[in-house]
Amino acid sequence: MKTTAGRSNPEGRSLKDEEMERMDAYWRAANYLSVGQIYLLDNPLLREPLRLEHVKPRLLGHWGTTPGLNFIYVHLNRVIRAGDLDMIYVAGPGHGGPALVANTWLEGTYSEVYPDISRDEEGMRRLFRQFSFPGGIPSHVAPETPGSIHEGGELGYALSHAFGAVFDNPDLIAACVVGDGEAETGPLAASWYSNKFLNPVTDGAVLPILHLNGYKIANPTILARIPPQELASLFVGLGYEPYFVEGDEPAAMHRSMAEAMDAAIAEIRSIQRKARTAGNMAPPRWPMIILRTPKGWTGPKTVDGKQTEGSWRSHQVPFGDMAGKPDRVPLLEKWMKGYRPEELFDGGGRLRPELAELAPKGTRRMGANPHANGGILLKDLAMPDYREYAVDVPKPGGVTAEATRVMGRMLRDVMKRNAEARNFRVMGPDETASNRLDALFEATDRTWVAATVPGDDHLSPGGRVMEILSEHTCQGWLEGYLLTGRHGLFSCYEAFIHIVDS
Amino acid sequence: MKTTAGRSNPEGRSLKDEEMERMDAYWRAANYLSVGQIYLLDNPLLREPLRLEHVKPRLLGHWGTTPGLNFIYVHLNRVIRAGDLDMIYVAGPGHGGPALVANTWLEGTYSEVYPDISRDEEGMRRLFRQFSFPGGIPSHVAPETPGSIHEGGELGYALSHAFGAVFDNPDLIAACVVGDGEAETGPLAASWYSNKFLNPVTDGAVLPILHLNGYKIANPTILARIPPQELASLFVGLGYEPYFVEGDEPAAMHRSMAEAMDAAIAEIRSIQRKARTAGNMAPPRWPMIILRTPKGWTGPKTVDGKQTEGSWRSHQVPFGDMAGKPDRVPLLEKWMKGYRPEELFDGGGRLRPELAELAPKGTRRMGANPHANGGILLKDLAMPDYREYAVDVPKPGGVTAEATRVMGRMLRDVMKRNAEARNFRVMGPDETASNRLDALFEATDRTWVAATVPGDDHLSPGGRVMEILSEHTCQGWLEGYLLTGRHGLFSCYEAFIHIVDS
């Protein structure tokens, strides 16, 4: 294990042994439940020797990213409890659906939303069976996954969704896992620039966690294979302060991750305090975590003699053909028993109480955070009567007017009426004025947190018109903003905009 | 002026005064022709006092980026002549169409392709009149612009087009101007990673020139407003060696640009030599130039008392309403005469011979480079008979086969038959194996120039299957490869791929 973060403190031991061991057990529980979802139809606690009929006939799911997502979840739970944080979890590798389902079941939110998936052995059996199964749930993070505003599927929007979620939510932190596959996409690559649009006074914070597990479907990833000094340089250049957590030995990794998390949260709080109480608006260098782990961490080391943990072979189901190869069912049983389920669940299949207490309570649980369920926070916009903006046309052809300029005046008044509620923004690729919506600038500015020079036109950190020359970022910001219960408009004249928007 | 490139040599004076003055005159000629295209219907040499009827009634075009594109063109001409380089020009800010039209007219290619636009006063008059005019030419770089493989329009693909052009063209250098607006887009942000796929032995080189003119349409750009050390860190992190050329005083800028160009070309040659003769395949750090100039450089300093040069107000036409405001026609005349056309063109409107000789000759002219006119280089692929891959089906339903696996076998043989011609590649977002085209790996590898580890599967710098998890980059690479006269296939199973591809 190597902790290269200059600011972290490898000897600091912020994590006590006892807590570390319980967190490791909680992580094992999440991993156990993840494997169970991918593979099992029945026999969820492995009370009986595992047999072929306990295994799903068709295996569909993504193991590779899942243990990393679980590892991050348990560490976020720790800092949420320690700091009473208001936090949501954006899983860029949304194909790791088993992780989010497992964790929300462990913390209790899953069973609150879906009472038939109870927190006991029968619930666990159903939890496993429903996953990626006819009549069940998708294998990806989906709208029905508690705590999710970000679906698995098209990669690229994790970070812009996270930023969209925290705009105008000053107490919210969006922890955003960015996979090293997604990091190669255009929409994601551009969205790192979102930090130039985040106001530390009135917005919340995003904690990006770049998860380098090294492989995509069948290839290594770029960011996992560039020299470490280039990797650090890249994120410093993007305006972040990276904390590195790297390795595969669980105890050391728990300690390193806890230290990085503590440092990152402290840094977020420090930036916010400086801006909010001391008025320091120098563009901050927000923390991020770069987590390097094996792909399919804790999964089978080899299958058929080929490296599987730490390889692209872990991307989906590490081994299949359960009926055709006699070593498969015992291999699965050995893998799952390696998590020592008897230490994790009681005789009734319930998470042991000393582990259950590691989860935050109530709406602090990431599966129950109301920001991830925007409909319950949504308030109607205060709207003017659109008739007031009608153009008076006393006789046909007698008046010259522009439709969007008229609309701009109405948007200006929408902006004014909702200024106090802070729940309306306009996004676009630097076309607000071109689109004749510039009456908006009578009511607000363009959002801009980077440097300014004399002569700049309506730029300020508090501006509510967000202009970046990336339609993908605009789209992601707006989705994140809307899905957390606010309102907005994305204006663009490009012929291809309906494509980006689709 | 500030040259911050550690490697450049501000005192070196690689550019002699006399040559610098001629280059400056050539640049002024290109700028003069650019303004003329945007504004004038007639009176191209300003022989008569400029009057309203000499000016187009409707002004449409983009001045802001144009003087920078012209500046780069004249400096590329210099290094082409000095090193007999095989070079094409990819203008990311393709809306700066006047620059490419002006330069190809100055070097003679425009009149060779379009003889009615002759190299004399009458040709200049037509050149001006046709621009962005009914029955004329687009205001953007377009397929009919000599030397262009990259249209103005949707921003984001300049760099991936440039890389696509140089794959398998070991002697070619694609100079690629990336605007600081385009640099905010997702497709462009991801395409910097293309350097991880460029084989210094068998591919050519891309020379990215990031042009920070500071403004988009009505906003500053992100990369122009981040601290200089972050900017350098960003591109070092992306694997480039940035050379900075910054300022607005022409003589100093010519010297600085010439030094940066000389250094960059020498570095490209050095990387290629090390790889090709010494077999050094360590991932190279390719040079790039970061050019910081005012937007609308050399244009009117102010219009109506408002800053215009060095401002977003220069983005399109710096001033219009020629009929309505009496100061406008004299302002235009003063601006154009400031380029001292009498020093640039002879009495017949022909570029003076001492300037004309600054352009390269024949197909070394960037407007005449055959790589930018792929149709003349295109050779048919050697194809097997597709009937040989037919699946034998003796009775209905009697055979199990997969359509794409069969296709994969044919693609494998296409790859083999054209291995020597080196004119066929397959691109995709890491789905070649998933799409059952993996028979290709019997004939070639995946392209990979970054680090490798034991257990990697078919990765090599010479591989011809290009897998990056960016559909946008794949699309751009393939377009660049095809438009320079080669063949390829982009395979993807994503539901949205027809959108990226549209």
Confidence of residue B3 (pLDDT cuts 50, 70, 90): very low
The backbone torsions φ and ψ at residue B477, rounded to the nearest 5 degrees and listed phi first, read -55, -50
Which of B372, B390, B413 is the endpoint of a domain? B372
**Into how many domains does chain A fold?**
2
pLDDT at A69: 98
| Nearest residue, CB atoms, A186 vs list B432, B448, B470 | B470
β-strands B487-490, B424-428 pairing:
parallel
Do A354 and A413 reside in the same domain of the chain?
Answer: no
- The answer to whether position A77 is within a domain reads yes
User: Once rounded to an integer, what is the mean pLDDT over residues B257-273?
Assistant: 98
- Structure pTM? 0.96
- The answer to whether position A239 is within a domain reads yes
Percentage above 70 pLDDT, chain A: 97
HSE of B291 in the Cβ direction (CA atoms, 13 Å)? 36
Least confident span in A424-438, B5-19, B339-353: B5-19
Q: CB–CB of A469 and B154 under 8 A?
A: no
| Nearest residue, CB atoms, A237 vs list B219, B230, B307 | B230
C-alpha closest to that of B72 among B245, B227, B198:
B245
pLDDT at B494: 82
- The answer to whether position B13 is within a domain reads no
pLDDT at A498: 72
Question: CA B128 to CA B102: how far, in whole Å?
Answer: 10
- The answer to whether position B420 is within a domain reads yes
pLDDT at B4: 42
Nearest chain B residue to A308, by CA = B455
What is the DSSP annotation of B237-255? HTTEEEEEEE-S-HHHHHH
Report residue A350 as tokens: 């319930």
Which of A352, A372, A392 is the endpoint of a domain? A372
- The answer to whether position B149 is within a domain reads yes
pLDDT at residue A502 above 70? no
pLDDT at A46: 98
Q: CB–CB of A457 and B312 under 8 A?
A: yes
Nearest chain A residue to B473, by CA = A186
- The answer to whether position B14 is within a domain reads no
Contacts for A398 with CB less than 8 Å, ≥ 6 apart: none
**C-beta contacts of A228-235 below 8 A and 24+ residues apart:** A228/A4, A230/B236, A230/B237, A230/B238, A230/B239, A231/A290, A231/B237, A232/A4, A232/B237, A233/B233, A233/B234, A233/B236, A233/B237, A234/B233, A234/B234, A234/B237, A234/B238, A235/A192, A235/A210, A235/A288, A235/A290, A235/B237
pLDDT at B153: 77
Residues of B in Cβ contact (< 8 Å) with A190: 184-186, 188-190
Distance from CA of A264 to the nearest CA of B (A): 20
Which of A326, A353, A372 is the endpoint of a domain? A372
User: Once rounded to an integer, what is the mean pLDDT over residues B65-87?
Assistant: 98
pLDDT at residue A2 above 60? no
User: Once rounded to an integer, what is the mean pLDDT over residues B404-422?
Assistant: 98
- The answer to whether position B267 is within a domain reads yes
pLDDT in tens, B207-226: 999 999 999 999 999 999 99
C-alpha closest to that of B255 among B23, B4, B6, B7:
B23
Do A416 and A443 reside in the same domain of the chain?
Answer: yes
Do B334 and B446 reside in the same domain of the chain?
Answer: no
What is the DSSP annotation of B423-470? -EEEEESS-TTTTT-GGGGGT--EE--S---TT--SEETT--EEE-S-
C-alpha closest to that of A287 among A302, A267, A303, A273:
A267
Give the residue from A195, A196, A225, A471 with the most B CB atoms within 10 Å of its CB, the best one to mutate: A225
Q: Tell me what ipTM this predicted complex has.
A: 0.95
Whether A301 has its CB under 8 Å from any CB of chain B: the answer is no
The residue ranking higher by pLDDT, B464 or B493, is B464
Do B145 and B247 reside in the same domain of the chain?
Answer: yes
pLDDT at residue B1 above 50? no
User: Once rounded to an integer, what is the mean pLDDT over residues B152-157?
Assistant: 88
User: Once rounded to an integer, what is the mean pLDDT over residues A476-498?
Assistant: 92
Q: What is the mean pLDDT of chain A?
A: 95
pLDDT at A6: 38
pLDDT at A14: 73
B407 and B148 Cβ atoms separated by less than 8 Å: no
Whether A470 has its CB under 8 Å from any CB of chain B: the answer is yes
pLDDT at residue A11 above 70? no
pLDDT at residue B498 above 90? no
Domain span at residue B202?
A: 20-372
Total Cβ atoms within 10 A of residue B54: 20
Question: CA B217 to CA B42: how far, in whole Å?
Answer: 29
Q: CB–CB of A216 and B471 under 8 A?
A: no
Residues of B in Cβ contact (< 8 Å) with A460: none
pLDDT in tens, A160-177: 999 999 999 999 999 999
Do B357 and B382 reside in the same domain of the chain?
Answer: no
Q: How far apart are the first and last CA of chain B?
A: 43
User: Once rounded to an integer, what is the mean pLDDT over residues B117-134?
Assistant: 98
Do A177 and A109 reside in the same domain of the chain?
Answer: yes
Do B73 and B216 reside in the same domain of the chain?
Answer: yes
pLDDT at B499: 67
Do A394 and A292 reside in the same domain of the chain?
Answer: no
Percentage above 70 pLDDT, chain B: 97
pLDDT in tens, B293-310: 999 999 999 999 999 999
pLDDT at residue B238 above 50? yes
Question: CA B158 to CA B164: how far, in whole Å?
Answer: 10
Do B188 and B271 reside in the same domain of the chain?
Answer: yes
Do B266 and B248 reside in the same domain of the chain?
Answer: yes
Question: CA B352 to CA A54: how far, in whole Å?
Answer: 86
Task: Give the count of Cβ contacts less than 8 A between chain A and B.
Answer: 187
Residues of B in Cβ contact (< 8 Å) with A220: 448, 450, 452-453, 456, 459
pLDDT at B502: 59
Question: What residues of chain B, 197 to 256, have a C-beta less than 8 Å from chain A?
Answer: 216-222, 225-227, 230-239
CATH number for position B31:
3.40.50.970
- The answer to whether position B10 is within a domain reads no
Contacts for B104 with CB less than 8 Å, ≥ 6 apart: B110, B145, B146, B147, B365, B366, B367
pLDDT at residue B63 above 60? yes
Do B368 and B388 reside in the same domain of the chain?
Answer: no
Do A367 and A395 reside in the same domain of the chain?
Answer: no
